[in-house]
Structure 1
Amino acid sequence: MPTIPGRRRPAFNQEPALEDWRKRYPLFPRLLFVLDGTGPAGVQTRIDALQAAAADLALADFRQDVPILAASLVDLFHNGPSAPVWRPVQDPDRRVAWHKP
């Protein structure tokens, strides 16, 4: 780009642009999966599939920053969404409350 005498080139910001949602939410919200339409074995199969998908190396940083939790709709109806019915995809044998993974 040619330089015009008396004019300066625009300065480019070296920092990456901040997405609009990050201005209000410094942390990415939890990712919650509600599983329905299957029994306990089907829920386990779906959680295993989520765990396998989350094991992708490209998602490693995302998994560290964002809790990924799954719960069956039946457990949510019986115990409520704030109960420790959520299973972390990284550790599906654990049960946690959605607000304290």
Structure 2
Amino acid sequence: MTADISDLDERNYRPFASILLLLSALLMVMPVRRVMIEVSEYGLRQLLVPTLILIGLPALGAFIGAFLKFQGSGSRFFGVALGVFVGSVGLMALLAYWFYYSVTHI
């Protein structure tokens, strides 16, 4: 059995995907912490929408990222990781908006 020479030219996306997932986990710490503190304080019924956003945004990003077309080893994993990363950046932007809104609308 011989190796196909055309496989040597493909990109390996696994290291990039691993780095993106690590950054995504780091970016999701603050939104998760904020929502968990508020849920334990006020209850889940009042904070159902922020909790659904917290769960749904990265899941939606992963779902969309699964359909991205990249060529190479680990390309599907990279697409999912990229979608989760974009979702986590969206969560951080949403957290910044919630903070700004809570400070300006006392």
Give TM-score scaled by structure 1 length.
0.30
- Structure with the bigger percentage of helix: 2
- Structure with the bigger percentage of strand: 1
Q: Which has the higher contact order (CA 8 A, sep 6+)?
A: 2
Give TM-score scaled by structure 2 length.
0.29
